[in-house]
Amino acid sequence: MPKYLLTALLLLAAPLAVAQTSKPVATPAASPVANPSVVLHTSQGDITLELFADKSPKSVANFLRYVHEGYYAGTVFHRAIPGYLVQGGLYTKELQPRRTHSPVASEADNGLSNSRGTIAVARGADPNSGTSQFFINLVDDRRLDYVGNQSGLTWGYTVFGKVVKGMDVVDKIANMPTRAQGPFAADVPNPLVIIESVNVVGEETPAASPTAPADGTTHKST
């Protein structure tokens, strides 16, 4: 894989070098627990997600906290790499980062794999540094799965849901032209893909003007 893809991955300060493993990995399956669904209303179409509250309760609760606050309204997908992932959930249309709540503990060892269509917590080098950002896998990518707790490189990335409708929208975003813009040297969709609102299925859509988290910090790109 080209070096720039590794260094660009999920705001990591060092190139990703997660070891391969032959250990069987569970794939997301229907659960007897009623998992919530959310809809991302984007400028390119709607994406419906099932969230795995049974497997990733902390990550789902963290994501839903931002959803209920209306935080994601007006943010963008700032990274799109065909054959890899699309990422968003932090930057405004001006590519300025919003303040976030405190990070959530990693649940990457939940047995779920970063398979095509799954949504996972984006983070920095520290496995427990994930906040509002997320990415959607475009392919089955076991390199991003949990291997062990030896280091941030082996921890992998927490899968907390999957696309159940609108994967064609995700693919469309992934195949848009990209360019350098703002703090990013490449991979920014052109035009920007805006998340107009996000709502939990069965609940009222939150307000479009989020209030900055009172206990938040600004997550800066590296």
Lowest mean pLDDT among 18-27, 55-64, 75-84: 18-27
pLDDT at residue 33, as a whole number? 52
Average pLDDT over residues 93-102: 97
pLDDT tens-digit profile of 159-187?
A: 999 999 999 999 999 999 999 999 999 99
**Domains observed in the chain:** 34-201 (2.40.100.10)
> With bands split at pLDDT 50, 70 and 90, how would you rate the model's confidence at 86?
very high
pLDDT tens-digit profile of 182-201?
A: 999 999 999 999 999 999 99
Secondary structure of the chain in HEC code, one letter for each residue: CCHHHHHHHHHCCCCCCCCCCCCCCECCCCCCCCCCEEEEEECCEEEEEEECCCCCHHHHHHHHHHHHCCCCCCEEEEEEECCCEEEEEEEECCCCECEECCCECCCCCCCECCCCCEEEECCCCCCCCECCCEEEECCCCHHHCCCCCCCHHHHCCCEEEEEEECHHHHHHHHCCCEEEECCEEEEEECCCEEEEEEEECCCCCCCCCCCCCCCCEECCCC
pLDDT at residue 17, as a whole number? 30
